[in-house]
Amino acid sequence: MLRELFRIPTPFGEFPVFGYGAMVLLGVLFGVFLLKLGARRRGLDEERVTDLPVSLVLFGLLGGRTWYCIQFRHEVFADGDWTAVFRLWEGGLVLYGAIAGGLLGFVWLQRREQYGNTRDLLDLIAPALAIGIAFGRLGCFLNGCCWGEVCPPTYPFAVSFPPGSPPALAFGDGIGASPPLHPTQIYSTIQGVLLCGLLWWVGGRWGHRPGRTFALFLGLYSIGRSVIESIRADHGVLAGELTVSQQASLVAAAVGIWLWMGAPEREKGTPAGSEKV
């Protein structure tokens, strides 16, 4: 855990650089890089396509923060301070909210600008989104949020968070370190990296069935997220009930199946992204 990485001296005082925000920024930069490479590989206008990320990130942040403030409203507004809504540097984004917000933004921009074939564009976004998730969860680890359940001290991946951290406060008085916990944030980071590599690989081979790369992302991410969610301990879950994110995973998986089954067969010789669908 390392909430604050360093401070930058300015004429107005020292400016703190937080681990969570830095990882989100790195995720965006790597995502844009992959988007440009993917557009070049498919013969699309990479400069035009990369106009999308800034808008999608903004929509994603808005969606992720909105979902968080609704789902965890009692914690966010516990002291009656409404400015807490804007403290993104402290963490507080729900990933499914960010995905939903980004997709809504994508639909709006696509209708307005017609960047190309919608399914091709979703396929381009898939690996970029996966690597963004990987960095974002690494930011969660540095921030000390989204922790897992208690695990045996001998478990090779067990992590104890320092005194005063959110997990230490959740499992005790915060004076001592937390008990050994599953590093669910790191599990999610590994999932994101593996998904990114797989999606990039299949994206270069499935161009004749546009939409299937993004469908694969939704299907595999929803499965992995549901499994990881089952060992998270940062929010209360009633025994035998699905968490909000697990319910969202069911919706994501259903959309993935729909996209997979409906992926059209592109005629040979038809350039990727040429259809305005």
Say what the pLDDT of residue 270 is.
Answer: 55
> Please, are residues 164 and 194 in contact by the beta-carbon 8 Å criterion?
no
Strand-pair partners of 1: none
Q: Read off the tokens for 228.
A: 């990881």
Residue-wise pLDDT for 115-151, tens only, equals 778 888 889 889 999 999 999 899 989 988 889 999 9
User: Does the pLDDT at position 23 exceed 80?
Assistant: yes
Rg (CA), the chain: 20
- Of 88, 94, 95, 101, the C-alpha closest to 19 is 88
Q: How far apart are CA 4 and CA 18, in angstroms?
A: 4
Say what the pLDDT of residue 32 is.
Answer: 87
pLDDT confidence band for 15 (50 / 70 / 90): confident
pLDDT confidence band for 277 (50 / 70 / 90): very low
Q: How far apart are CA 186 and CA 167, in angstroms?
A: 15
User: Does the pLDDT at position 111 exceed 90?
Assistant: no
Q: How far apart are CA 277 and CA 18, in angstroms?
A: 41
CB-neighbour burial class of residue 161 (10 A; exposed 0-12, middle 13-18, buried 19+): buried
Q: What percent of the chain has pLDDT over 70?
A: 87
Backbone angles phi, psi at 66, to 5 degrees: -60, -45
Say what the pLDDT of residue 272 is.
Answer: 55
Residue type, 20: Y
Task: Check residues 224 and 95 and name the one with the higher pLDDT.
Answer: 224
Say what the pLDDT of residue 114 is.
Answer: 75
Residue-wise pLDDT for 152-171, tens only, equals 989 999 999 998 888 888 88
Task: Check residues 90 and 234 and name the one with the higher pLDDT.
Answer: 234
Residue-wise pLDDT for 52-74, tens only, equals 777 788 888 888 888 777 777 76
Please state whether the predicted TM-score (pTM) of the whole model is above 0.75: yes
